[in-house]
Structures are given as C-alpha cells and as structure tokens.
C-alpha cells in the first residue's frame, strides 16, 4: 500500500513537471507582447520601410482626376481629403449622407444604394434624397490610424467581450458582434470592426469599397460603378469598368493603413493626477464596458481574412488601447440604416474608439455633438444606467473624466 502511494506521488510530480514544461511556450508568448509604438508622426509602425510608407502615404493622399476614373458620382478626390487630421490617415470634419425608407418592418435602401454621393462630374446626375426616403443620416469621417492592429484582433476576443458584457439595472449591455464578408476571400466571414456600423473586417475590403463609393474608381475587387439615384451614369463615364485594371492602388492604401501608428496620448496630460483619477472614475462608472481600453493582437505568423494576410512581427503580439469593443450597441443614437447586418442593426452604432479623441471637435456618428460632455449626455438606451452615474458625479470628478478623455 505504502509502495503504491510512493508510485502515485512520483507520477504526480512527473506529470506536474511535464504540464509546466508543456505550458511554457504560452507563458513565453504572453511575456513577449509589447506596447505598440504610437504617434501622430506619419511614420511607419515597422510593417513597411520608411520609403515604402512614404510612397503609400502619397498614394493615399493622391488627388485623382476624371481621367483617372473619378466619378461620375463621388464624394471626394482622394482618401487623404477626408482622412487627414492631424496627419494623413486621421479623421476630418467631412460627413457623408445616407438615406432610405423604413416600411414598419424593414429598412429599404434609397434607389442607387443608401450612400448618397454628394458630388458628380455633371450637373444633371448629382444624387438627391428622393421623396419617400424619410430615413436620413450623416456619417462623420473616421480615423484609420492604427487600424492594422485592430484588423489583427482575433474574432474570438470580440465574441468573448460580447458574451461577458453585464446585466445592469437599466438592462443588459448586449453589444452585437457582426459577421461580415471578406471581399477578397469569397465565402469567408469575420467579425466586423471598421466603420460606424462595424460593416467591414478587412482593410482591403474597406479600401475597395471606399475607392468605388467615395471616389467612383472601380477595381477588379469592386468592379461595378455607382448609379445616380439608381439610373445608369454610363454615358458620362469615359472609362470602361473596372477603371483600374489591377488592385495595386487599393493594395497600396491597405498597406499604408496597416503600417500606421495608433494615436499617441497627450504626454503632458496623461500622467496628471486629474487624468489618472478620471480614468478610474471612467472605469468605475462602467464606461469601459463598451469603451474597452486594452487589446492584444494575434501573434505574428497568424493568417487572417481567409488566409489572404499573414500578421507580421510589426503587428503581432502588440498591446493597444483603442477604448472600444468594436461591437454594435443601441444607445439611443441609431441612425436607422442597415449595412452588412440584419434588421436588428438598424438602430445600433459601433462603439467609436476614443483614442485620438483630443484631435476631434465634432463627435458621434453624425458629428452633431460639439463638446465631449454633450456627446456623453447623448448616450441613452442600453447605456442609460452608466450615463446616470456620470450625471451624478461631483463637479471635480466630472472634470477629472473630461481631463482623462482630453488626454486620449
Ligand atoms: C468623402 C470623404 C471620404 C473619402 C474620400 C474616403 N473616406 Fe474613408 N471614411 C469616410 C467616412 C465618412 C467614414 C465612416 C463611414 C461609415 O462607417 O459610414 C470612413 C471610414 C473609413 C474606414 C474605416 C475606419 C475605421 O477604423 O472604422 C477606412 C478603413 C477608410 N475610410 C478608408 C478609406 C480609403 C482607403 C479611402 C480612399 C480610397 C477613403 N477612406 C476615402 C470618409 C471618406
Ligand atoms: C453601451 C455601450 C456604451 C457605454 C456604456 C458608453 N458608451 Fe460611449 N459610446 C458608445 C457608442 C455606441 C458611441 C457612438 C454613438 C454614436 O456615434 O451615435 C459612443 C460614443 C462616445 C463618445 C464620442 C466619441 C467620438 O469621437 O465621437 C464619447 C466621448 C463617449 N462615448 C464617452 C463615454 C463615457 C465617458 C461613458 C461613460 C460615462 C460612455 N461613453 C459609456 C457606447 C457606449
């Protein structure tokens, strides 16, 4: 019996030892995760060398003309025009217009698609909102800085956040993770994370979409030209579609975006006692349930977007602080538009990442809140019980929260 006990103990020790050895790689992997370097400095995060980044940046900011395929209907002449503050790739004050009709059960897109292009190369084809399309929405330009790291977040992480969101007195904070198609990998779906509706998961898909829909330049990935309110504009189009014979331009935009650094904190403010206290209040109130501060990206070598992109060391195992869960929420600000999601997404908006907040002077999807305080007070719906806590803060605590937000 005693012998039996000794053998048992010996085996126990051996197995524990093997277990520890076996687990070591994951312990090492955790230790190697490092903070992504940040900055509004137009420099590469290391994905590409400085010369390639400069070339890609110039491509992103390049003003295109009609002979390059601009229009016939479009919104602007370059990616950089709407993504430029405070450096190329940031946000801007430019808004876009979307419209459609709600028949009591479902959203029906405006003829020609819910995006109403605001410019055209001929006076007769400028798109208008037609009668009967009572759902109208403005959408503010978003920043793309640091988006390569967001693309490198695992679906499972986003699904897990959605699952863990708590039941509060005002109801469940039930962020919705949306499966969206990867255009460059037909049949593959991933959790959306880009755009006000989390309507895209891949930066290449977003680039192809934006080149066609913002600028009117079609590519093999997005070969179909827009219409004017549903009517063909072919007679104003001198180029045969796709305007670009290859996907080189959108590959360049994608590489540029993947190589950008995330926004940096305001170093003067970030470590003040007021900002530090403000972040604690922010967390304690429950703002961080949706505005999640910290993520770790997938490791280098991991393939995403249907194996069309392999995460490199510049993007892999990096720690970032976007202050978003990238999920859709009904906080009472929904714009009634459905994109890449079901009817239940109509009145939901993605939690906007708060990094880089201090560079913006218009807030929320429509840009119609003009101070940070107003944008916070505009949250209702599933955010009500959290915002009620904000309302009852002392003047000093409120100031601390705003100081923290202004340091982002
Ligand atoms: C007319 C202004 C305008 C132009 C031109 C434009 N964008 Fe945008 N961009 C926007 C707006 C507005 C949004 C938010 C759209 C939405 O979700 O409805 C956006 C969102 C994005 C996003 C999502 C960012 C995120 O983190 O969620 C990406 C990526 C992007 N644009 C890339 C591009 C690229 C690449 C080009 C050039 C081919 C381009 N954009 C041209 C206005 C513009
Ligand atoms: C239930 C999820 C949720 C909670 C809780 C929440 N937010 Fe938000 N927040 C959002 C969403 C979604 C948006 C975007 C809404 C829109 O554009 O219509 C947003 C937008 C914002 C914006 C505007 C940023 C910009 O660039 O436009 C600020 C600032 C903000 N939230 C701060 C806070 C603070 C502070 C708290 C806590 C008191 C909080 N939020 C709690 C989901 C949430």
Of 244, 224, 245, 221, residue with least CA distance to 233:
224
d(CA 157, CA 216): 35
Establish whether residue 53 lines the binding site of ligand 2, counting it when its CB lies within 6 angstroms of any ligand atom.
no
**Is the CB of 115 inside a 6 Å radius of any atom of ligand 2?**
no
Give strand pairing partners of 179: 191
Cα-to-centroid distance, 305 and ligand 2 (Å): 28
With beta carbons less than 8 A apart as the criterion, state whether 364 and 334 touch.
no
Tell me the per-residue pLDDT of 243-282, one tens digit each, with 9 for 90 and over: 999 999 999 999 999 999 999 999 999 999 999 999 999 9
Identify the helix (H) or strand (E) that includes residue 156. Answer: helix 155-164
Contact 276, 73 (CB under 8 A): no
> For the segment 365-407, what is each residue's pLDDT rounded down to a tens digit?
999 999 999 999 999 999 999 999 999 999 999 999 999 999 9
- Mutate-to-test residue for ligand 1 from 214, 221, 363, highest number of ligand atoms within 8 A of CB: 214
Say if ligand 2 is within 6 A of residue 348 CB. Answer: no
CA–centroid distance, residue 73 to ligand 1 (Å): 16
Closest residue by CA, ligand 2 atom 32: 376
Residue ranges per structural domain of the chain: 50-406
Does residue 53 carry a pLDDT above 90?
yes
Which is the closest atom of ligand 1 to the Cα of 195?
Answer: 17
140 in contact with ligand 2, CB cutoff 6 A:
no
Burial track 337-369 (b if 16+ CB lie within 10 A, e otherwise): bbbbbeeebbbbbbbbbbbbbbbbebbbbbbeb
Q: Which atom of ligand 2 is nearest to the CA of 357?
A: 26
Which residues does ligand 1 sit against, CB inside 6 Å?
A: 75-76, 79, 81-83, 94, 96, 139, 141-142, 144, 147, 194-197, 203, 206-207, 210-211, 214-215, 253, 257
Q: What is the pLDDT of residues 60-115, one digit of tens each?
A: 999 999 999 999 999 999 999 999 999 999 999 999 999 999 999 999 999 999 99
Residue nearest to atom 12 of ligand 1 (CA): 141
User: Which of 195, 283, 331 to probe ligand 2 with, by most ligand atoms within 8 A of CB?
Assistant: 331
Measured CA distances, 273 to 233, 278, 397, 408 (Å): 59, 8, 12, 15
In 3D space, the residue among 153, 148, 408 whose CA is nearest the CA of residue 287 turns out to be: 408
| 3/213: higher pLDDT | 213
Question: Does ligand 2 come within 6 angstroms of the Cβ of 291?
Answer: yes
CA of 377 to the centre of ligand 2 (A): 9
- What is the distance between the alpha carbons of residues 190 and 202, in angstroms, rounded to a whole number? 8
Reported as a single tens digit per residue, the pLDDT across 218-233 is: 999 999 999 999 999 9
Residue of minimum CA distance from atom 13 in ligand 1: 141
Which of 28-37, 132-141, 378-387 has the least mean pLDDT? Answer: 28-37
236-259 as b/e: b if 16+ CB within 10 A: bbebebbbbeebebbbbbbbbbbb
Host H or E run for residue 167? strand 167-168
Give kind and range of the element (H or E) at residue 304: strand 303-304
| CA-proximal residue: ligand 2, atom 25 (nearest) | 363
| Contact yes or no for 155/146 (Cβ under 8 A) | no
Of all protein residues, the one whose alpha carbon is nearest to atom 42 of ligand 1 is 141
Q: Is the CB of 173 under 6 A from ligand 2?
A: yes
**Atom of ligand 1 minimally distant from the CA of 194:** 27
pLDDT in tens, 276-319: 999 999 999 999 999 999 999 999 999 999 999 999 999 999 99
Distance (Å, whole) CA 301 – CA 329: 33
């Amino acid at each position: 019996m005693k012998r039996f006990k000794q053998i048992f103990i010996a085996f126990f020790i051996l197995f524990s030892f093997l277990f520890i050895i076996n687990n070591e790689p994951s312990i090492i992997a955790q230790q190697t995760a490092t903070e992504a370097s940040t900055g509004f400095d137009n420099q590469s995060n290391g994905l590409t060398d400085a010369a390639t980044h400069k070339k890609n940046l110039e491509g992103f900011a390049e003003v295109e003309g009609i002979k390059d395929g601009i229009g016939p209907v479009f919104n602007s002449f370059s990616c950089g025009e709407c993504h430029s503050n405070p450096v190329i790739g940031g946000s801007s004050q430019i808004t876009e217009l979307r419209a459609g009709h709600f028949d009591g059960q479902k959203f029906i897109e405006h003829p020609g698609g819910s995006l109403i292009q605001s410019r055209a190369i001929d006076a007769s084809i400028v798109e208008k909102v037609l009668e009967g399309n009572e759902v109208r929405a403005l959408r503010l330009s978003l920043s793309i800085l640091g988006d390569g790291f967001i693309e490198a977040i695992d679906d499972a992480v986003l699904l897990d956040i959605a699952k863990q969101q708590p039941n509060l007195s005002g109801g469940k904070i039930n962020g919705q993770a949306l499966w969206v198609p990867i255009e460059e990998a037909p049949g593959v779906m991933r959790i959306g994370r880009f755009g006000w509706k989390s309507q895209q998961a891949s930066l290449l898909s977003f680039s192809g979409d934006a080149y066609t829909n913002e600028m009117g330049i079609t590519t093999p990935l997005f070969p179909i030209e827009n219409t004017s309110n549903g009517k063909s504009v072919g007679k104003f189009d001198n180029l045969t579609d796709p305007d670009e014979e290859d996907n080189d331009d959108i590959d360049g935009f994608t590489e540029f975006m993947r190589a950008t650094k995330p926004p940096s904190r305001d170093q003067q403010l970030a470590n003040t006692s007021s900002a530090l206290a403000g972040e604690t209040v922010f967390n304690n109130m429950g703002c961080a349930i949706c505005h999640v501060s910290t993520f770790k990206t997938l490791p280098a070598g991991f393939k995403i977007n249907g194996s069309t992109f392999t995460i490199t060391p510049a993007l892999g195992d990096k720690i970032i602080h976007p202050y978003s869960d990238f999920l859709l929420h009904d906080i009472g600000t929904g714009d009634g538009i459905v994109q890449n999601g079901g009817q239940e997404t109509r009145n939901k908006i993605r939690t906007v990442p708060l990094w880089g907040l201090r560079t913006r002077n218009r807030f929320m999807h429509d840009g119609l809140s003009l101070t940070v305080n107003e944008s916070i007070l505009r949250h209702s719906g599933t955010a009500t019980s959290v915002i009620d806590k904000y309302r009852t803060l002392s003047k000093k605590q409120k100031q601390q929260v705003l100081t923290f937000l202004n340091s982002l």
